[in-house]
Structure 1
């Protein structure tokens, strides 16, 4: 009888240990999923995002793809503040944008480097904030792939996360610093707006929608793609990452810009502390 009681106690102990370990793991994963949606989370990450668009150029037969490599590096400044570095390095491939393949190019575009000073704690109402400078670097490997100008301006982000929902907006404005840009280039003067909304389920699947709208103050034209995405948090070999895919639709774009439907896919490697 004593032996049976010991076996029951041992089995109960193992069961409850596994239960609480599983619950703790689920809580950790849920927190990781939230951080993956937060542009100013204090977590190292490496998003690699592929975008494909079509119906471009005067013939309406051009295509354009951009693979954005976007490392995120957090730095602790003191007990109250973090500095979040976000880099966007675009790798571009475009075809059919001009007659006789004159604009068929592949290479690197201009880097956008942002720094967000972000309080470690949300506001009393739960908002997470970040503000700082954004720098445009003329790193284009070809004059058709970049602006050939330095640029600088402010950037800011505000978001709130509760009950599975993440909503917020990221924005910047960049002015060209060159006194006079090259003859075939417009002076950089553009505003970027990215409102976003998503919901994360108990299975750590996130359904999201955002726009990444750019307004060119020189040409007075909008570029407005709407992205619909599904994102899943996974662990492969014990290493967390997210995978994402979904369609995009262009509500507005310049005359030779992309039209109708495009596609986005992304993988983000996460490195929690």
Structure 2
């Protein structure tokens, strides 16, 4: 196989752990659906291999320290693939399930008594698949996987009371405004699961609607008594208008991960800074850049009286990925202003300003203005935040949407 592509996989896992002191032993299985194909010959038009599903079983051993677990894992896996070869004198397709060995390592953190998040790297070495053609083609399907996950433990770990001290007002006071301020702070020590729907109108030559649903889990991780690290992931589910046909392409876009290092006990100015990177996980070329992006990110805010005022900034450059795709150099600034009212209601404005530094000077900037309103409330015992807002792009590249409707719904998990 000649090279490959980085794409999106997703699935479920289950396992069993046994802890003796600071040492953990476990076994786990995983099943993932795959959505990617990679070239089997120098050009995809001559041949490609498509992965359909991936299954693994592995044992793991790790070192536990407070809420952190560092571990290694070893085992085996199976991959089901389809292949197509089509070049002069050869037309062949086939399906095959192959097994191989698995090695990996990861980092896991218990953010609540029954919940953990993890980041893991796995290498799955598979036997070559030789086509029944003349001449035969050897297809190498080795996989490298970077996986982020969230797990529920049926036996709790540390009690919720062992959680780090909040950087904002304690949520247990049940005060709507305190919880609202935490939910409006991108680097608050508050676990949340936001769903942000961005409907962009009048996109492309056929003036179709582009829909981007961002799934944005935010998990604070305690480093020590003085510092927290806040993990913010953005998984976009996209319906993208075609630039050629009057139709849309649907799928997963490129996934962005931000890590903010923030003081656990800030003063009047709350801040965090760290790296941001984007992986080319799009399930269709039109849904992503095809490049690995990396850069710095930072957020600054203050919370005087009923206000939450701040800005989130980042810039990313392409540092890898498909060399046939164009390079990337993009800037993002998201100022946010929230005013909290009685009864959990709040007013909000949070436009997303972007710049493509590689575009012609008159086509670089997208600058929206607008705002909306929202409310903090409960569904049963579950605190949630919901809002709706509209934005008009006063500056935008030609052919891009002119206005946006944004709806927001977030599950909030304050400590008890």
- For normalisation by structure 1, the TM-score amounts to 0.84
| Partner Cα separation in structure 2 for residue 136 and residue 153 of structure 1 | 9
| Partner Cα separation in structure 2 for residue 99 and residue 146 of structure 1 | 17
Cα distance, 1:223 vs. partner? 1.5
Corresponding position of 2:355: 215
Superposition pairs of residues 54-93 of structure 1, within 5 angstroms? 54-59=201-206, 61-93=207-239
| Structure 1 residue corresponding to 2:285, chosen from 112, 122, 143 | 143
1:122 matched to 2:266: yes
Corresponding position of 1:270: 412
Cα distance, 1:34 vs. partner? 0.9
Corresponding position of 1:161: 303
Cα distance, 1:25 vs. partner? 7.2
| Partner Cα separation in structure 2 for residue 27 and residue 179 of structure 1 | 47
Cα distance, 1:98 vs. partner? 2.6
| Partner Cα separation in structure 2 for residue 27 and residue 200 of structure 1 | 15
Larger helix share, 1 or 2: 1
Larger strand share, 1 or 2: 2
Corresponding position of 2:251: 107
- For normalisation by structure 2, the TM-score amounts to 0.56
Corresponding position of 1:15: none
Which 10-residue stretch deviates more, 217-226 or 134-143?
A: 217-226
Cα distance, 1:229 vs. partner? 2.2
- Find the residue that maps to 2:399 and give its secondary structure: coil
Cα distance, 1:251 vs. partner? 1.5
Is the contact between residue 384 and residue 409 of structure 2 (CA under 8 Å) also seen in structure 1? yes
| Partner Cα separation in structure 2 for residue 179 and residue 140 of structure 1 | 12
Aligned positions, number: 242
| Partner Cα separation in structure 2 for residue 210 and residue 265 of structure 1 | 12
| Partner Cα separation in structure 2 for residue 162 and residue 40 of structure 1 | 17
| Partner Cα separation in structure 2 for residue 62 and residue 240 of structure 1 | 35
1:192 matched to 2:332: yes
Question: Deviations 1:170-212 (Å, cap 9, x if unpaired)?
Answer: 0001010028732xx4311011011111100122211011221
Which 10-residue stretch deviates more, 27-36 or 204-213?
A: 27-36
Is the contact between residue 203 and residue 401 of structure 2 (CA under 8 Å) also seen in structure 1? yes
Is the contact between residue 136 and residue 151 of structure 1 (CA under 8 Å) also seen in structure 2? yes
1:206 matched to 2:346: yes
| Structure 2 residue corresponding to 1:252, chosen from 395, 401, 406 | 395
Gaps (5+ residues) in structure 1?
1-23
Superposition pairs of residues 171-190 of structure 1, within 5 angstroms? 171-178=313-320, 181-182=323-324, 185-190=325-330
Change (3 A) 1:158 1:54: same
Question: Deviations 1:110-155 (Å, cap 9, x if unpaired)?
Answer: 01100000001222xx010000000111010000000000010000
- Find the residue that maps to 2:221 and give its secondary structure: strand
CA RMSD of aligned residues (A): 1.8
| Partner Cα separation in structure 2 for residue 178 and residue 224 of structure 1 | 28
Corresponding position of 1:94: 240
Gaps (5+ residues) in structure 2?
1-170
Corresponding position of 1:6: none
Relative contact order, CA 8 A, sep 6+: which one is greater? Answer: 1
Is the contact between residue 256 and residue 277 of structure 2 (CA under 8 Å) also seen in structure 1? yes
Is the contact between residue 186 and residue 218 of structure 1 (CA under 8 Å) also seen in structure 2? no
| Partner Cα separation in structure 1 for residue 211 and residue 322 of structure 2 | 29
Is the contact between residue 240 and residue 269 of structure 1 (CA under 8 Å) also seen in structure 2? yes
Cα distance, 1:28 vs. partner? 3.3
| Partner Cα separation in structure 2 for residue 78 and residue 180 of structure 1 | 39
Corresponding position of 1:237: 380
